[in-house]
């Protein structure tokens, strides 16, 4: 009976740790107790600020200089979060992601499991070992209403426009225009998400502006 009770508690804690979106509809009593305590520690030790009803898995590793989460955003279990990170409202980071800021993630954005986002890079001069060269950081921006698929890598300096989709396994090395679907290594535009008539309207507006 003791083991059964222990495994039952473990199941309740770890389910929402890794299926973190369930926290907002099916909060367990245990998670209700854990979250305020963990968020209090992160405010003190990781420069964290939180909107209303946020969730950060207690099995995540948050070592930020500053991090902010908007209302109803979450970070799932196994994630490593460091540097400076800003997350908008109603956005989520899936399990086992590595997010190294400076990073800005918009609102209503989904980041799947095992995604790597690095907002810095190493020097690569051939006259010195790369390990000995200083890092530089331009940062990464992921817009509003984006879907970043599993196992995606996003490198320093990239801006992913609003409403875009990055297919699973892609390596994003250049900016992604809004309303785009990209995939591959390196990632390239596969198609636009906007209906054809909207694209035509965009072209008409562009032509009017250029002749006006």
- pLDDT interval class at 205 (50, 70, 90): very low
Beta strands in 30-187 (DSSP E): 48-50, 55-56, 61-69, 74-75, 80-87, 92-93, 98-100, 103-105, 110-111, 116-118, 121-122, 135-136, 140-142, 147-148, 153-154, 159-160, 165-166, 171-172, 180-183
What CATH number does residue 181 fall under? Answer: 2.160.10.10
Instruction: Convert the pLDDT of each residue in 175-192 to its tens digit.
Output: 999 999 999 999 999 999
In angstroms, what is the C-alpha Rg of the chain? 20
* CA-closest candidate to residue 178, choices 154, 209, 149, 142: 142
Instruction: Convert the pLDDT of each residue in 107-137 to its tens digit.
Output: 999 999 999 999 999 888 999 999 899 988 9
Number of separate domains in the chain? 1
The lowest-confidence range among 10-19, 53-62, 77-86, 165-174 is 10-19
- pLDDT interval class at 199 (50, 70, 90): low
Hey, which residues are catalytic here?
122
Q: Give CA–CA dist 31/27, Å, rounded.
A: 6
For residue 14, the enclosing domain spans 2-211
By three-state DSSP, how is residue 182 classified?
Answer: strand
DSSP-assigned letter for residue 88 = -
Q: Give CA–CA dist 11/192, Å, rounded.
A: 42
The mean pLDDT value of the chain amounts to 89
pLDDT at 206 over 60: no
Q: Which pTM value belongs to this model? A: 0.84
Q: Which pLDDT value is given to residue 114?
A: 98
Which residue did the predictor score with more confidence, 43 or 204?
A: 43
Which residue did the predictor score with more confidence, 23 or 201?
A: 23
């Amino acid at each position: 009976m003791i083991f059964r009770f222990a495994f039952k508690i473990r199941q309740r804690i770890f389910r929402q740790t890794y299926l973190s979106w369930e926290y907002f509809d099916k909060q367990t009593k245990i998670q209700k107790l854990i979250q305020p305590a963990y968020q209090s520690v992160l405010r003190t030790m990781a420069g964290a600020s939180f909107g209303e009803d946020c969730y950060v898995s207690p099995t995540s590793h948050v070592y930020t200089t500053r991090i902010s989460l908007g209302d109803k955003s979450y970070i799932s279990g196994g994630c490593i979060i460091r540097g400076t990170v800003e997350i908008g409202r109603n956005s989520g980071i899936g399990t086992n992601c590595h997010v190294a800021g400076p990073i800005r993630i918009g609102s209503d954005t989904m980041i799947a499991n095992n995604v790597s986002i690095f907002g810095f890079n190493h020097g690569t001069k051939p006259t010195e070992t790369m390990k000995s060269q200083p890092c530089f950081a331009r940062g990464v921006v992921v817009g509003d209403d984006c879907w970043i698929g599993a196992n995606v890598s996003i490198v320093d300096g990239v801006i992913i426009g609003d409403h875009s989709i990055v297919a699973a396994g892609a390596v994003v090395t250049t900016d992604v225009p809004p309303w785009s679907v990209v995939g591959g290594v390196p990632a390239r535009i596969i198609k636009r998400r906007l209906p054809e008539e909207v694209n035509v309207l965009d072209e008409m507006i562009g032509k009017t502006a250029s002749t006006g």
